[in-house]
Structure 1
Amino acid sequence: MMTPTYWAIGLFLFGLFLVSLEAFIPSAGVLGLVAGSVLVWSVYQGFVASTACGISLIVATVVALPLLFAVFVKWWPLTPLGKRMLISVPDDPDELLPDGEVYRQIQSQVGKRGTAVSDLLPNGRITIEGTEFDAVTEGVLVDAGTLIEVTDVQGNRIIVRPLASSPAAVATPEPESKEASRDFSQASPDLEVDPFDDPLA
């Protein structure tokens, strides 16, 4: 015949088993409610056996439940049930965007060339193969009409850079002709001023 002490210890262990089972079997809280009732009954049986046994079971319950909860939080997402119920966040933020027709069209523009419809300061509008898009440069300012190339797509943002061969992208000043420089450096004799002449005389 089992004594109240053995009943108390057995009910305590069975209650912890039901708490652990709740993590793997979705029961809408039924198993948790049963586990709580079993743990309370184990404490009662402990006090029936002796006061020291009852207090010991209370302390063991207070310590064991947080430990089980910590294990549940750490290991439950790794279980097959946890993987099915939890939504994993992808490492690449682009995977969070909907894979719609517009998104696929933007992604397909990488490497293509077009023209800046407006000034890119650094945001603006571009056109590629007759379709206009919002775009942003890599940090440089681009004038309207400049030929551009799509270098990257981040989310729904098209990253472009001006083409070096574009006249609007590279503005180089025309060198001063040597003849004009030589003519300017040679002063006309008629313009020479005698430093001893008094302009007020």
Structure 2
Amino acid sequence: MNLLDPIGWAVVLLVVGCGLIALETFIPSGGILSFLAFIAVVASIVVAFNRSLTTGLSFMAVAGLAIPLAIGLALKIWPKTPMGRAILGELPSEEETKPDDPRRGLVGRVGVAQSLMLPSGAVLVDGRLIDAVSQGIAIEPGQPVVIVEVRANRVMVRPAATEEAQAAAFEPDDVLARPIEEFGFDSLEDPLA
């Protein structure tokens, strides 16, 4: 009495071989499980070739796809297992992997365009001159802008709405734009004349 025909045995041996390959990832056996997996996959192909040439070739093709798939799936799952976490440690969060950029605190701040932005130019924010890129809109010098995001090495800005510019109530930090009376000089005329 035969429990399985040769195709059934070939399928079982191929599944056992792929399972042993995946198990080798989780249980370090020094290559014993990999050797047993190799024997199971080769036996599967031999049994399939005993059936017919086309069946054997098709099992070789299936084994060529199933083995890398089993290895890839095992390596994808492995870091989530207790042994994988013990060896690799905890994976860093997305916030921990971002570079520390002090410009990220400027998001939402209102500044003034210092140059014509087509689309890049200079923006004055909190007394600091920053290179920025507009979101595809030409911005005239002196126009209020809002910092939208900081991504990689780019500071993205957009024109500020009138209520945003009024809410910021910024004064020009440019020394040359202030009236001379603010500096306490009596007169710039020649006192000896």
Q: Normalising by the residue count of structure 2, what TM-score does the alignment of the two structures yield?
A: 0.50
From the two aligned structures, give the one with the greater helix fraction.
2
- Greater Rg over alpha carbons, structure: 1
* TM norm structure 1: 0.48
